[in-house]
A and B are shown apart, each in its own frame.
Chain A
Amino acid sequence: MVSESGLEGLRILLVEDEYLPATEVADMLDALGIEVIGPIPDLEGAMAVAGRETFDGAILDVNLRGEAVFPVAEQLLARNTPFLFATGYDEWVLPERFRDFPRLTKPFDKLSLERMTLRMLERSSRPTEAG
C-alpha cells in the first residue's frame, strides 16, 4: 500500500555505505511511493549517478567508506537538485556552507524521513535569496 504522502512517483537518489541501513531506508522510501535511485555505497558511484541520472532529490550519508559525500552535494547544488544529509554527525561537523541544509539524524523512522523529504523539496521550490 502506498501512503498519501504527496511524495508518490518522485525519484530520489539514496547514498548510504552500509548495506542493512541502505536497504531499510530504500524500503521506507518505497513504502512512501518513492522510486529509489540506488542505493549507492561509495563516492565514485554516487558522483557517476548524480552526473548521469535525473531525480527530484537526494538523501546523502555523510561518510562513505571513509570519504566525505560533499563533492556530490556540490554537484547537486550546482544543478539545483535538493538534497538532505542523513548522518550521525552533529551539524557543526559539517562544512559551514552545508550546515543549513535539512538533516536527518540517524537512526530515523519512516515518519521523520517523510517529513524531512517534504522539507527538502519545499526548500528547493522557494525562490533563492540570491536570485
Chain B
Amino acid sequence: MHVSASPGVWIAALLTLGIFSFLYKDNPVYKFCEHLFVGVSAGYWVVLTYYSSIKPNLIDPLFGVPFAMDRHLLLVIPLVLSLFLFSRFFPRGDWLSRWSIAIILGVYPALRITGFAQGDLVQQIGGSILPFWVPGHPMTSLNNVLLVGGLLATLVFFFFSTEHKGAVGGIARVGVFFLMVSFGASYGYTVMARVSLLIGRVMFLLDTWLGVVRF
C-alpha cells in the first residue's frame, strides 16, 4: 500500500468522500463540497471561455496587431451584441439583450433544421427501405420485416391526429411493445453507465490515493 503524498490527491480524495457522505444523509460537509464545486466550475468556465473563444475569435482579430482594415471591423457587431447581453442586469435596458438572443435564435434553428432533416429524416427513412425477402438469409429477412414493421408501428403510435381505436389502435399497441423494448434497453445501458462512473471513482481512491492496487 503506497498512500499518495501529494496534497492535491489528498484534497481530491477528501472532497470525494465528502460528496459520498451524502449517501448517509445530507450534511454540512456535502453542502460545502457542493458549493465549492459550483464556484470552481463557474470560475473555470469564465477563464476558459475568455481564452478559448472571446480572445482568439474577437479581441485579437479586432484589436490585435497588426490591425487590418478589412472584414475584421465587422467584429464590432458581435462585440456590441455581446455587451448588450449584460443589459439584463439593468431593468430599463434589458430589452437590448433580446437582440443578442434573437440572432442566436435565428442561427441555431436554421442549423438544426438542415442537420435533422438531412441526418435524421432523409437518411433514416432511406435506411428503412429494406427487402422483406433476402434469398438464402431467412433470419435477415425476418429482421428486416421486424425493423420496418416496428418502425411503422412506432410512428402510428405517435400519430395523435387519429383516435387509437380499431386497426389503428392495434398497430399503435404493437408500437408500444417495440417502445417498451427500447426503453428496457435504454434502462440496461443506463445502469451500465451509472455503475461505470462509480467504478472510475473507486479506481481513483484505490490507486491514485491509497495505492492499494495499480490499474
Partners in one complex: no
Chain A interface (Cβ within 8 Å of chain B)? none
B contact residues vs A (CB 8 Å cutoff): none
